[in-house]
C-alpha cells in the first residue's frame, strides 16, 4: 500500500544487502516514518516484543525472517542448529496470543532443517519466509475481494449513501504485509468507487486505531473519523454503523476470536443492535488445535506503563505523558475473546463462512483429516 504516494510493504530485504531486513518502526507513526534495520536475532525479538512491528501476520512474518537471521548468525555444524533452535525459542517467547508467530516459524524451521549445512539452511529459511510473506499478502488481498460484496450490498440498500464501517485496533496493511485484513474490503470498496466511511476506534492503551488505522486510511484517501473506544455502542444505537470489520490474532476451529482488547464489547453492542459483525482473517490465524477460545487462547498481559502513560506529539517532538496518579496501579490485558455466537461471519481468503467448526471445515475441508 502507499505512504506519500510511494508503495511500501511493512517488511523487506534491504536493497543491495540481503543480510539486513528493514521494517517500518511503528512506534513513531503517524508523526514520523522511521525505517529500522534489523541485523541480529536479538534485534528481531526486541522489534516484536516492544512492538516496533505488531499485528498477527506481521509478527509472524518478522519472526520468520528472524529465523533466516538466525541461520546467518549460526556457526557451521551442530552448534549452528543449536543457535537456530535457541533463536526459535527466543522469537516465540516475544508475544503469546497471535498464532501466526508459532505456525509460521514452525514452517520455516521445518524447511531449514532439511539443509545439510549453513548455506543450505540459510537459503531454505529465506525462501520459506519469503514464500509465507507473499502468500499472506495475497490472502489479505483476497479477503478484500470477498468482503467487498458485503459493503456493496449495503451500499445498494442505502441508495449509494456512504457505508459506515466500524473497526477496532489496526487490522490494516500496517499490521500485515500488505492490504490488511479488516481494511482490505474497505480498500476494495474505495477502489471500486463505492462510497465508504470508517469509524476508527482509538484503541487504548496503545492507540493503534488513532495512530495507525487513521494514518493508513488517510494515506489512501478513505474518509474516516477517529472515535473514542466508548462511542461505538452509541453510534450503533443510532443507526450510524452499517457493519463492523475486525481482525483476529487467533481464531479457534469453533470460531471464537481473540483480537485486541475491547473487540468483545463491540461485538456485544453490534449483537444488541443487529449490526453485522464480521471477523476478517487469513487462514494462518486459525488455530485448528483448539475450540474453546476463552479457556484455551493465551492472553498477553503487557506492562502497566502503557495504560498509565500516553504518547503524542508536542512541538514537533514525540513525548510520553503521565495520565494517572503516579502511584495508581494499572492492568493491561492485550486481547479478549469474542465467542463465535456474536460473530456474523468469518471472511477468509477462500470466502465467507459462519463462525463455526462446520463453517470453517466447509472452506478448509483438508483440516477434517487433522480433527482431534
To ligand MRU, the closest distance from the beta carbon of 212 in angstroms equals: 8
Question: What is the DSSP code string of 168-189?
Answer: -S--SGGGSSSS-STTHHHHHH
Pick the binder of ligand MRU from 208, 213, 219, 284 (CB under 6 A). 208
Which one of the spans 65-73, 126-134, 171-179, 358-366 is the region binding ligand MRU (CB under 6 A)?
A: 171-179
Q: Compare residues 118 and 283 and give the one whose CB is closer to ligand MRU.
A: 283
Q: Compare residues 164 and 259 and give the one whose CB is closer to ligand MRU.
A: 259
To ligand MRU, the closest distance from the beta carbon of 299 in angstroms equals: 11
Site of grid cell 498477553: 300
Residues in contact with ligand MRU, total (CB under 6 A)? 17
To ligand MRU, the closest distance from the beta carbon of 288 in angstroms equals: 18
| Residues paired with 333 in a beta bridge | 301
Distance (Å, whole) CA 336 – CA 368: 27
Report the Cα–Cα distance between both ends of the chain, in Å, rounded: 39
Q: Compare residues 57 and 359 and give the one whose CB is closer to ligand MRU.
A: 57
Pick the binder of ligand MRU from 10, 128, 164, 181 (CB under 6 A). 181
| Residues paired with 246 in a beta bridge | 279
Looking at 100, 178, 249, 287, which residue is catalytic?
249
Pick the binder of ligand MRU from 171, 177, 269, 286 (CB under 6 A). 171
Question: Per CB under 6 A, does 204 bind ligand MRU?
Answer: no
Helix 78-92 and helix 56-73, axial crossing angle in degrees, nearest 10 = 160
Distance (Å, whole) CA 259 – CA 168: 9
Question: What is the DSSP code string of 8-63?
Answer: --SEEEETTEEEEEEEE-GGGTTT---EEEE-SHHHHHHHHHTTSS-SHHHHHHHH
Q: Compare residues 163 and 261 and give the one whose CB is closer to ligand MRU.
A: 261
Which residues contact residue 76 at a Cβ distance below 8 angstroms, ignoring those fewer than 6 apart?
117, 118
Whole-number Cα distances in Å, 56 to 15, 83, 100, 333, 351: 26, 25, 6, 16, 20
Report the b/e string of 165-203 with b at 16+ CB within 10 A.
Answer: bbbbbbbbbbbbbbbbbbbbbbbbbbeeebebbbbbbbb
Query: Where in 44-103 is the site for ligand MRU (CB under 6 A)?
Result: 54-57, 98
Backbone angles phi, psi at 278, to 5 degrees: -110, 140
Q: Compare residues 155 and 284 and give the one whose CB is closer to ligand MRU.
A: 284
Pick the binder of ligand MRU from 136, 248, 338, 344 (CB under 6 A). 248
Q: Compare residues 73 and 229 and give the one whose CB is closer to ligand MRU.
A: 229
Q: Is 75 helix (H, G, I), strand (E, B) or coil?
A: coil
Which one of the spans 111-119, 149-157, 168-176, 271-279 is the region binding ligand MRU (CB under 6 A)?
A: 168-176
Question: Per CB under 6 A, does 175 bind ligand MRU?
Answer: yes
Per-residue contact string for residues 327-356; x = within reach of ligand MRU by CB under 6 A: -------x----------------------
Q: Is 249 a catalytic residue?
A: yes
Cell numbers that stand for 168 in this block:
477496532
Question: Per CB under 6 A, does 247 bind ligand MRU?
Answer: yes
Query: Where in 113-152 is the site for ligand MRU (CB under 6 A)?
Result: none
**Could you list the active site residues?**
249
Positions that interact with ligand MRU (CB under 6 A): 54-57, 98, 169, 171, 175-176, 181, 208, 247-249, 259-260, 334
Amino acid at each position: 500500500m502507499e505512504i506519500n504516494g510511494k508503495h511500501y510493504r511493512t517488511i523487506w530485504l534491504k536493497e543491495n544487502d540481503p543480510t539486513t531486513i528493514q521494517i517500518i518502526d511503528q512506534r513513531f507513526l503517524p508523526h514520523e516514518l522511521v525505517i529500522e534495520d534489523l541485523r541480529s536475532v536479538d534485534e528481531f525479538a526486541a522489534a516484536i516484543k516492544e512492538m516496533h512491528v505488531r499485528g498477527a501476520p506481521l509478527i509472524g512474518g518478522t519472526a520468520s525472517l528472524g529465523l533466516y537471521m538466525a541461520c546467518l548468525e549460526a556457526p557451521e555444524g551442530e552448534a549452528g542448529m543449536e543457535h537456530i533452535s535457541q533463536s526459535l525459542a527466543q522469537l516465540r517467547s516475544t508475544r503469546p496470543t497471535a498464532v501466526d508467530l508459532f505456525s509460521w516459524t514452525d514452517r520455516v524451521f521445518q524447511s531449514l532443517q532439511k539443509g545439510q549445512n549453513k548455506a543450505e539452511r540459510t537459503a531454505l529459511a529465506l525462501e520459506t519466509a519469503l514464500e509465507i510473506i507473499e502468500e499472506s499478502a495475497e490472502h489479505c488481498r483476497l479477503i478484500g475481494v470477498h468482503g467487498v460484496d458485503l459493503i456493496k450490498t449495503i451500499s445498494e440498500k442505502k441508495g449509494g449513501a456512504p457505508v459506515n464501517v466500524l473497526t477496532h485496533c489496526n487490522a490494516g496493511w500496517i499490521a500485515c504485509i500488505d492490504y490488511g485484513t479488516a481494511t482490505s474490503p474497505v480498500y476494495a470498496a474505495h477502489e471500486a468507487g463505492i462510497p465508504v466511511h470508517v469509524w476508527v476506534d482509538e484503541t487504548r492503551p496503545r492507540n493503534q486505531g488513532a495512530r495507525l488505522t487513521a494514518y493508513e486510511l488517510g494515506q489512501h484517501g478513505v474518509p474516516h473519523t477517529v472515535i473514542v473506544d466508548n462511542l461505538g455502542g452509541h453510534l450503533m444505537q443510532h443507526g450510524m454503523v452499517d457493519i463492523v470489520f475486525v481482525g483476529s490474532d487467533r481464531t479457534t476451529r469453533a470460531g471464537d476470536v481473540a483480537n485486541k482488547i475491547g473487540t468483545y464489547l463491540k461485538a456485544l453492542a453490534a449483537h444488541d443492535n443487529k449490526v453485522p459483525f464480521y471477523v476478517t482473517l487469513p487462514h494462518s490465524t486459525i488455530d485448528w488445535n483448539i475450540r474453546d477460545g476463552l479457556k484455551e487462547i493465551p492472553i498477553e498481559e503487557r506492562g502497566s506503563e502503557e495504560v498509565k502513560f500516553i504518547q503524542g506529539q508536542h512541538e514537533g517532538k514525540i513525548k510520553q505523558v503521565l495520565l494517572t496518579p503516579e502511584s495508581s496501579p494499572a492492568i493491561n490485558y492485550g486481547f479478549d475473546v469474542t465467542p463465535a455466537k456474536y460473530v456474523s461471519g468469518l471472511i477468509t481468503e477462500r470466502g465467507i463462512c459462519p463462525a463455526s467448526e462446520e463453517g470453517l471445515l466447509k472452506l478448509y475441508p483438508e483440516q477434517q483429516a487433522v480433527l482431534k
